[in-house]
């Protein structure tokens, strides 16, 4: 754990109130007119070599699974140069770690490295070098476990018998931050401060596009008191400072900008978690902690490194934020914490990938689940299947009027709402008459999806220039202006029609549709079935399930559930423009599910087209 100097801790506490004495001279980006104190630019002094460490990294999978950021033993993601024994041991660790577990694999690796030929004081280094997560051994077993394994090998104990004995040994995880509890995201905590990462200093298409910058603009408009911690590459900071200074702001130092040498991704949610822990300095646990994973990653299965995002976290820590690094692997967007208002039980709801990644590190399933629960200070855990990508694209949790509500995607309602929005575009493009559009609307309203889909499909066929291919001039009829992507909207319309077809056709293969399309529709049906199973699992655990129009399908998503909760408010991502009618139907559904909660739209269109949304991009750091 990073030791925190009291001076730095005090400074960041003051910073959280917007009163920060600067730890290092705050510098103004060249050419920026002082924005009446709304923007502060911080360049904390980084530890020697830190920026270079992350600048040198590729956005690839680390060669060995035990890679841990900045770790003296396991901190190099590149392939090491092995001798024959090490190569054999590394291969063995790769194949055994996730199957046989941490301790048996350590024993086999040690045996492959020569057993007692490895000096006791060199055990950790040699094992770490071939991929054993020795830090996890230290965190889950009594001191001296590796020395004991070496001694038993040296005493001639049969390897398989030793491994069987070690596999039966319980692994009891010690949390990284004693007493740490993950900040709940179910609406109890105020939305006061968010951390965002901006990939550029201009809009993708224009004001209103819901891209990285416009999402922050919209968020700043929605909550005039909200503070922003902003990370961006150096070259974007002057432009960003200028931009922020031009926005109406209710407070000084509303935007604290941290320039860095490497670009960031937009996904501030994924590289760290946030929570609270009492300690000697802060007995009531009022100061937040950032808890970083073993290494920040993006993507599915084992994920690829995100060095720019790591540099952002470390830069923030260098400015005084309290950051600890876990030996576990997780992506923040795939982990949600909610508190049941009736029982006070703190729930950890996570996507299955987080569990599998930690099993792959050598923790048996139950031990991995217990470790994640302990690390995040939660009493109960629920693991959900990877229906789309992260679970925050699938559902949102909210404590409301004594109930714990799970807001899940109602794909059927969403697809119908999108198709309704599409009708004016179909008319404008000349592929549907007003009468035909009215007929489709009537079929949708009367819940006659087959008739609606058939008519819609026929009309689309007039515009197609190949199987599922449409000219850009046609797509332009689905946009409402330069900041509203007609291409993106048409792709959502095509998805909505496919979803409707998948809903209707119990056996697409037998319906005379060509095979590749039938397989696609079958896959969509399977996904919907899994979503139903998720809803049933949530209901079984006592969550009240409320369905709201929301679509999660990578770059074609309209994930209204990917928002942020605060007391009496839900910030809902919207696309606006051509699909404003869809947004409105979702807003009504949220208002019905959460009476008394103000549902506030935040523009997220271009962010959604990059397979994320508001929750992925804005990392809330409330105060308890």
The tokens for 307 are: 């060095």
Q: DSSP letter at 81?
A: P
User: H or E stretch including 580?
Assistant: helix 580-593
CB closer to another protein, 401 vs 506:
506
Identify which range of 282-290, 310-318, 322-330, 604-612 contacts another protein by CB under 8 A.
604-612
Instruction: Output the smallest distance, CB 528 to another protein, in A.
Output: 5
- Look at residue 193 and give its three-state secondary structure: strand
Q: How far apart are CA 358 and CA 516, in angstroms?
A: 35
Inter-residue contact 582 to 549 (CB < 8 Å): yes
CB closer to another protein, 94 vs 380:
94
CB closer to another protein, 320 vs 508:
508
CB closer to another protein, 133 vs 288:
133
Q: How far apart are CA 250 and CA 248, in angstroms?
A: 7
User: H or E stretch including 458?
Assistant: helix 449-463
Does residue 523 bind another protein (CB under 8 A)? yes
Question: Between 104 and 133, how does the x/- string for binding to another protein read (CB under 8 A)?
Answer: ---------------------------x--
- Which are the contacts of 529, defined by CB distance < 8 A and separation ≥ 6? none
List the one residue from 114, 178, 468, 481 that touches another protein (CB under 8 A). 468
Does residue 214 bind another protein (CB under 8 A)? no
CB closer to another protein, 184 vs 613:
613
Does residue 275 bind another protein (CB under 8 A)? no
List the one residue from 75, 115, 190, 385 that touches another protein (CB under 8 A). 385
Identify which range of 44-52, 56-64, 68-76, 373-381 contacts another protein by CB under 8 A.
56-64
Instruction: Output the smallest distance, CB 570 to another protein, in A.
Output: 23
CB closer to another protein, 298 vs 380:
298
Residue 138 main-chain phi, psi, to 5 deg? -65, -30
Q: Give the residue from 140, 183, 181, 99 showing the smallest Cα distance to 371.
A: 140
Question: Between 578 and 597, how does the x/- string for binding to another protein read (CB under 8 A)?
Answer: --------------------
Instruction: Output the smallest distance, CB 267 to another protein, in A.
Output: 6
78-107 binders of another protein (CB under 8 A): 79, 87, 90-91, 94-95, 97-99
**Look-up of token digits 């119908």:** 416
Q: How far apart are CA 370 and CA 67, in angstroms?
A: 22
List the one residue from 498, 535, 547, 559 that touches another protein (CB under 8 A). 498
Instruction: Output the smallest distance, CB 466 to another protein, in A.
Output: 5
Does residue 497 bind another protein (CB under 8 A)? yes
Q: b vs e for 83-113, b when ≥16 Cβ sit within 10 Å of the residue's Cβ?
A: eeebeebbebbbebbbebbbbbbbbbbbbbb
Instruction: Output the smallest distance, CB 22 to another protein, in A.
Output: 33
Instruction: Output the smallest distance, CB 64 to another protein, in A.
Output: 5
List the one residue from 156, 248, 512, 595 that touches another protein (CB under 8 A). 512
The tokens for 20 are: 């920060």
Does residue 452 bind another protein (CB under 8 A)? no
- Which are the contacts of 198, defined by CB distance < 8 A and separation ≥ 6? 212, 213, 216, 230, 231, 232, 236, 240, 264, 266
CB closer to another protein, 176 vs 205:
205
**Look-up of token digits 């119990």:** 506
Size of the chain, expressed as the number of residues it contains: 624
307-366 binders of another protein (CB under 8 A): 352-353, 356, 359-360
Q: How far apart are CA 316 and CA 76, in angstroms?
A: 22
Does residue 265 bind another protein (CB under 8 A)? yes
Inter-residue contact 245 to 273 (CB < 8 Å): no
Does residue 224 bind another protein (CB under 8 A)? no
Q: Give the residue from 72, 79, 107 showing the smallest Cα distance to 92.
A: 107
Q: Is the dihedral of CA 207, 208, 209, 213 positive or negative?
A: positive
Residue 531 main-chain phi, psi, to 5 deg? -65, -40
Q: How far apart are CA 294 and CA 575, in angstroms?
A: 34
Instruction: Output the smallest distance, CB 498 to another protein, in A.
Output: 7
- Which are the contacts of 122, defined by CB distance < 8 A and separation ≥ 6? none
Instruction: Output the smallest distance, CB 356 to another protein, in A.
Output: 5
Does residue 19 bind another protein (CB under 8 A)? no
Helix axis angle for 102-112 and 159-167, nearest 10°, is: 160
Instruction: Output the smallest distance, CB 522 to another protein, in A.
Output: 6
Instruction: Output the smallest distance, CB 13 to another protein, in A.
Output: 33
Does residue 31 bind another protein (CB under 8 A)? no
Does residue 154 bind another protein (CB under 8 A)? no
List the one residue from 52, 235, 366, 507 that touches another protein (CB under 8 A). 507
Instruction: Output the smallest distance, CB 424 to another protein, in A.
Output: 18
List the one residue from 487, 537, 545, 580 that touches another protein (CB under 8 A). 487
Question: Between 406 and 425, how does the x/- string for binding to another protein read (CB under 8 A)?
Answer: --------------------
CB closer to another protein, 59 vs 122:
59
Q: Give the residue from 477, 593, 484, 619 showing the smallest Cα distance to 192.
A: 619
Q: How many CB atoms lie within 10 A of CB 15?
A: 23
- C-alpha distance from residue 350 to each of 86, 294, 411, 510 (Å): 36, 17, 21, 37
CB closer to another protein, 147 vs 532:
532
Does residue 529 bind another protein (CB under 8 A)? yes
Does residue 554 bind another protein (CB under 8 A)? yes
List the one residue from 272, 432, 611, 618 that touches another protein (CB under 8 A). 611
Q: How far apart are CA 69 and CA 73, in angstroms?
A: 10
Instruction: Output the smallest distance, CB 157 to another protein, in A.
Output: 25
CB closer to another protein, 34 vs 99:
99
């Amino acid at each position: 754990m990073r030791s925190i100097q009291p001076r730095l801790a005090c400074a960041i506490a003051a910073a959280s109130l917007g009163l920060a004495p600067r730890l290092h001279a705050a510098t103004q980006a060249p050419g920026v007119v002082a924005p009446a104190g709304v923007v502060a630019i911080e360049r904390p002094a980084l530890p020697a070599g830190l920026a270079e460490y992350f600048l040198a990294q590729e956005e690839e999978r680390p060669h060995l699974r035990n890679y841990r950021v900045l770790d003296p033993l396991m901190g190099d993601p590149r392939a090491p140069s092995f001798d024959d024994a090490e190569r054999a041991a590394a291969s063995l660790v790769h194949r055994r770690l996730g199957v046989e577990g941490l301790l048996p694999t350590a024993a086999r690796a040690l045996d492959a490295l020569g057993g007692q030929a490895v000096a006791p004081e060199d055990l950790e280094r040699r094992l770490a070098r071939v991929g054993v997560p020795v830090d996890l051994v230290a965190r889950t077993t009594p001191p001296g476990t590796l020395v004991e394994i070496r001694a038993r090998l040296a005493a001639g104990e049969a390897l398989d018998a030793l491994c069987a004995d070690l596999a039966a040994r319980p692994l009891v995880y010690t949390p990284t931050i004693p007493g740490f509890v993950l900040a709940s995201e179910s609406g109890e905590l105020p939305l006061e401060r968010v951390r965002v990462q901006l990939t550029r200093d201009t809009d993708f298409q224009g004001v209103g596009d819901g891209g990285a910058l416009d999402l922050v603009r919209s968020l700043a408009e929605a909550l005039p008191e909200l503070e922003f911690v902003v990370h961006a590459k150096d070259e974007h900071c002057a432009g960003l400072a200028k931009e922020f200074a031009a926005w109406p702001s209710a407070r000084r130092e509303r935007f604290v900008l941290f320039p860095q040498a490497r670009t960031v991704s937009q996904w501030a949610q994924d590289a760290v978690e946030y929570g609270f822990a009492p300690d000697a300095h802060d007995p009531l646990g009022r100061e937040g902690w950032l808890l970083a994973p073993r290494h920040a990653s993006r993507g599915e299965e084992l994920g690829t490194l995100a060095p720019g995002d790591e540099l952002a976290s470390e830069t923030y820590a260098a400015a005084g934020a309290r950051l600890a690094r876990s030996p576990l692997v997780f992506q923040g967007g795939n982990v949600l914490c909610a508190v049941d208002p009736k029982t006070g039980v703190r729930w950890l709801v996570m996507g299955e990938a987080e569990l599998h990644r930690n099993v792959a590190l050598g923790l048996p399933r139950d031990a991995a689940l217990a470790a994640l629960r302990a690390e995040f200070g939660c009493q109960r855990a629920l693991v959900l299947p990877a229906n789309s990508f992260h679970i925050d694209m699938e559902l949102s949790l909210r404590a409301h009027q004594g109930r714990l509500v799970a807001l899940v995607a109602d794909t059927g309602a969403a697809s119908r709402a999108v198709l309704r929005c599409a009708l004016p575009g179909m008319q404008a493009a000349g592929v549907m008459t007003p009468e035909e559009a009215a007929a489709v609307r009537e079929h949708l309203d009367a819940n006659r999806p087959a008739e609606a889909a058939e008519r819609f499909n026929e009309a689309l066929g007039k515009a197609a220039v190949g199987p599922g291919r449409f000219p850009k001039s046609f797509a332009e009829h689905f946009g409402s202006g330069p900041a509203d992507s007609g291409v993106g909207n048409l792709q959502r319309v095509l998805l909505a029609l496919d979803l409707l077809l998948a809903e209707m056709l119990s056996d697409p293969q037998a319906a005379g549709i060509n095979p590749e399309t039938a397989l696609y529709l079958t896959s969509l049906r399977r996904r919907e079935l899994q979503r139903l199973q998720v809803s049933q699992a949530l209901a079984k655990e006592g969550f009240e399930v409320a369905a709201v129009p929301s679509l999660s399908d990578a770059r074609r998503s309209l994930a209204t559930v990917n928002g942020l909760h605060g007391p009496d408010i839900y910030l809902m991502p919207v696309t606006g423009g051509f699909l404003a009618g869809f947004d409105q139907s979702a807003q009504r559904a949220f208002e019905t599910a959460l009476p008394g909660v103000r549902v506030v739209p935040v523009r997220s269109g271009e962010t959604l087209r990059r397979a994320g949304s508001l929750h992925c991009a804005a990392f809330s750091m409330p105060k308890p």
